[in-house]
Amino acid sequence: MIFLIDVGNTNIVFGISDGEKIINTLRTETIKEKDFDYIPVLKDLLCQKEKIRKVKGAILSSVVPEVTKKLIEAVKVIYKVDTILVDDIIDESLQIEIDSPGKLGMDLKVDAVAALKKYPSPQLIFDLGTATTCSVLDEEGRYIGGAIIPGLKISLNALIQATSQLPMIDCSIPIAEYIGKNTQDCMRIGALYGHALMLEGFVREIQKNLPKSYMFH
């Protein structure tokens, strides 16, 4: 089995792969404190699932450098295997044509490579996490740029923190209307539909700025 680790700014997602598909996933909060130890956290998470044996290796993607080394060490302690960084694998397989190719985030590289394996180019890729990112691949599958947008949760939290009377809301509650009748519904509409319409707008405007032959899939 292969241990997969995706380190984001808000959460760390662990996956267990049998080589063909992911058979188990686990999630924990990303803790960035300097002295935080991930070994007991990882042991506790693994105990929550059926016992995982015979881990042959680990692959890690991270956008949080201060956590990367700690997780590599934790995997070494628990499974006695080395961890491969996705950057070491991807850099040779993805052609990046931006101002500073070496500064492109590992998450964006992974998005692009995965999309290229599954869909034809050109492509417009959105990844909704702590930040909402947009990546553009040209007809040859080259990474030619994109956009970084405050994520839905960050935007909503900023709104709540900067106002005196707006409450915390649960965005998982379905809302079918575009016109709210109370504060909570108005906020849900603004957060969810506002974000969705923004993405649609990006698709439309990026399409306008590219050759007519670019039809995104």
Same domain, 129 and 30: no
- Is the pLDDT at 185 greater than 90, yes or no? yes
Same domain, 151 and 190: yes
Check which CATH number belongs to the domain holding 176 and give it: 3.30.420.40
The torsion of the CA quartet 170, 27, 47, 5, rounded to 10 degrees, works out to 180
Looking at the 3D structure of the chain, how many domains does it have? 2
**In the β-sheet with 123-128, what is the strand arrangement from edge to edge?**
123-128, 131-137, 143-150
- Is the pLDDT at 52 greater than 80, yes or no? no
For this structure, is 107 an active site residue? yes
- Residue 136 or 89, more confident: 136
39/160 Cα distance (integer angstroms): 35
Same domain, 115 and 196: yes
Name the catalytic one among 35, 82, 107, 111: 107
**Is residue 10 within 8 Å of 65, Cβ to Cβ?**
no
Distance in Å from the first CA to the final CA of the chain: 33
Same domain, 149 and 184: yes
Q: Is 13 annotated as a binding residue?
A: yes
Q: Is 67 annotated as a binding residue?
A: no
pLDDT of residue 187: 96
85/89 Cα distance (integer angstroms): 7
Q: Is 133 annotated as a binding residue?
A: no
- Sign, CA dihedral 171-175-180-184, equals negative
How much is the pTM?
A: 0.82
Q: Per-residue confidence at 47, pLDDT binned at 50, 70, 90? A: low
pLDDT of residue 216: 67
Same domain, 69 and 18: yes
Same domain, 37 and 128: no
Q: Is 12 annotated as a binding residue?
A: yes
- Which stretches of the chain are DSSP H helices? 38-47, 65-79, 86-90, 106-118, 152-162, 183-188, 194-208
Q: Per-residue confidence at 141, pLDDT binned at 50, 70, 90? A: very high
